[in-house]
Amino acid sequence: MALYLIGDLQGCDEALGRLLKKIDFSASRDTLVLLGDLVNRGPDSLAVLRRMIAMQGSAHCLLGNHDLHLLAVAHGVRKPHRSDTLDGILHASDRSVLLDWLRARPLALHMQGWLMVHAGVLPQWDVAQTLALADEVEITLRDADWGEFMHQLYGNQPAAWSADLTGADRLRVIVNALTRLRFCSADGVMEFETKDSAAAAPEGFMPWFKVPGRQTLGTPIAFGHWSTLKGSAERQGVLPLDTGCVWGGCLTAARLGPRGEAELIQVQCPQSQKPGKKKL
């Protein structure tokens, strides 16, 4: 019985199939966690969602920014980007089933001592608060009026967390931290323009996992979203697992051991997109 974590798929279903075969994944024996961005930019997002739905019980999936983008496009809140590859889902006969399943996914999990998110955690949040705040968003997305929330989701403000935040502002900060965060200041002000490596931090900002005294220090954290890290953050007690599958890198699984160790298993991926400036 093993627990495997996999980083950003972004519609690369064929690579996922090869990776599951390589790790000899058994749905009756093992557990799989996908760390968000199941869809978009890759060649077969529809197959990814259908595979994950079929694996319910053995597979857990977090929401990433691209997954939320799909929900927003489907609801008419956002226009598709030129690099989007979401038409297969949007025109599928089971579209409503797929979208309802997707919006019911969590934004954070805590399993086998590991905290799992798509992007990052603000320095003021400990594990319990991270999970509680993620749950606020999850409840909102599962509500019958979830579309109203989608219309208020996008934006970079407020840029910092405050316990006094309410309504859409509160939920927007939570979503931005858990699905978009790379850099923030020592007091948790988020910066969203820079998407390069950790060494490219703008003045006054740093990678979220390097903030001194962050409340999750001491808890191992696995995340995706940041392909340019190339695994370099592991020594800070965090495990970045977006290894650029859609860009022609690898798709990576981490097999978590009983003492917190992580064994990495990879498959090479064909390039589906060329790296460049992206809005998501």
CATH of the domain at 257: 3.60.21.10
Is 273 part of any domain? no
pLDDT in 10s for each residue of the chain, 280 residues: 899 999 999 999 999 999 999 999 999 999 999 999 999 999 999 999 999 999 988 999 999 999 999 999 999 999 999 999 999 999 999 999 999 999 999 999 999 999 999 999 999 999 999 999 999 999 999 999 998 999 999 999 999 999 999 999 999 999 999 999 999 999 999 999 998 888 889 999 999 999 999 999 999 999 999 999 865 655 678 999 999 999 999 999 999 988 888 999 999 999 987 776 444 5
Provide the number of structural domains found in the chain: 1
Is 54 part of any domain? yes
Report the 10 Å Cβ neighbour count for 124. Answer: 19
Residue 68 forms beta bridges with which residues? none
Is 24 part of any domain? yes
Which range of residues forms the domain containing residue 61? 2-268
Q: Which two tokens stand for residue 245?
A: 């599958």
Is 275 part of any domain? no
Is 209 part of any domain? yes
Question: What kind and span of H or E run contains 223?
Answer: strand 221-223
Is 167 part of any domain? yes
Residues 49 and 104: beta-carbon distance below 8 Å: no
What end-to-end distance do the CA atoms of the chain give, in Å? 36
Is 244 part of any domain? yes
Is 100 part of any domain? yes
